[in-house]
Amino acid sequence: MARTAVLGRLTWQSATLEGVRRETATARTLTLAVRGWQGHKPGQHVDVRLTAAGGYTAQRAYSIASAPTADTLELTVEATPGGEVSPFLAQMAEPGVALEVRGPLGGWFVWSPTEQQPVQLIGGGSGVVPLMSMLRTHRAVRHPSTMWLLYSARFPEAVLFSHELAAAGDPADGADRATLVYSRRSPAGDARQPHRIDARDVAAHVLAPEDAPRCYVCGPTPFVEAVIALLLLAGHDPELIRAERFGAGRT
């Protein structure tokens, strides 16, 4: 790999917030313009650095939500109550704001359209963001392999990318499918009582171990640990499980 490409990823680059799109009451998608952006792989993230007037800086990691095939670079940020950085990005920052990004980062939690094996995505809360990049890429290139998403949100109003996910195809019709489950409150009429993902959900909504799917699990650390344990219990090969932990968190 060219040394300049590596240096480019590790160097802070100036970025401008070009646009914002509300996803939920507490989350927004941010479109960034980064001069000289080299592109990314689905699943990668960037570090974002903010600098206050007095020179104080704060940086946090945010996954890339957009597909590399898209024209824009998008992040989707959920406001953490009392957080230092996320409430600014998710609720306050206006187009034109200058910030810095470093990346793309992460070489393990990535999916490439050159891979042919079935894929199971499992996300909790904002952990769906890097999985969305994978799903969008899968759709954009009309990938023939199966890609399923199981997404746990706290309640219906907390669902990110709801319109796009609702458009997920019938598996008989295409190769991707999105299933939403709720941990705190389900929509009216939903037969499933709200609860955290359990073994029954895995049996019902996750590709079978016999299909040998590559599994990508992302969300708050307790969510990721619980889901990995369920996948192993169901007989999935640990070698095929990749995980990204966002830290503490609410589910």
Ligand X SMILES: Cc1cc2nc3c(=O)[nH]c(=O)nc-3n(C[C@H](O)[C@H](O)[C@H](O)COP(=O)(O)OP(=O)(O)OC[C@H]3O[C@@H](n4cnc5c(N)ncnc54)[C@H](O)[C@@H]3O)c2cc1C
Q: Summarize as ranges the residues that interact with ligand X (CB under 6 A).
A: 45, 60-63, 76-78, 80, 82-86, 126, 129, 220, 244, 246-250
Compute the Cα dihedral for 102, 22, 131, 167 and give only its sign. negative
Q: Which is nearer to ligand X, 66 or 146 (CB)?
A: 66
Helix (H, G, I), strand (E, B) or coil at 108: coil
Q: Which is nearer to ligand X, 110 or 207 (CB)?
A: 110
CA–CA gap between residue 109 and residue 106 (Å, rounded) = 6
Smallest gap from residue 208 Cβ to ligand X (A) = 29
In the complex, residue closest to ligand X by CB: 83
CA–CA gap between residue 245 and residue 3 (Å, rounded) = 29
Smallest gap from residue 245 Cβ to ligand X (A) = 7
Show the DSSP H helices in the chain as ranges. 3-10, 86-87, 128-140, 162-166, 199-205, 221-233
Smallest gap from residue 32 Cβ to ligand X (A) = 13
Q: Which is nearer to ligand X, 80 or 186 (CB)?
A: 80
CA–CA gap between residue 155 and residue 117 (Å, rounded) = 32
Q: Which is nearer to ligand X, 131 or 202 (CB)?
A: 131
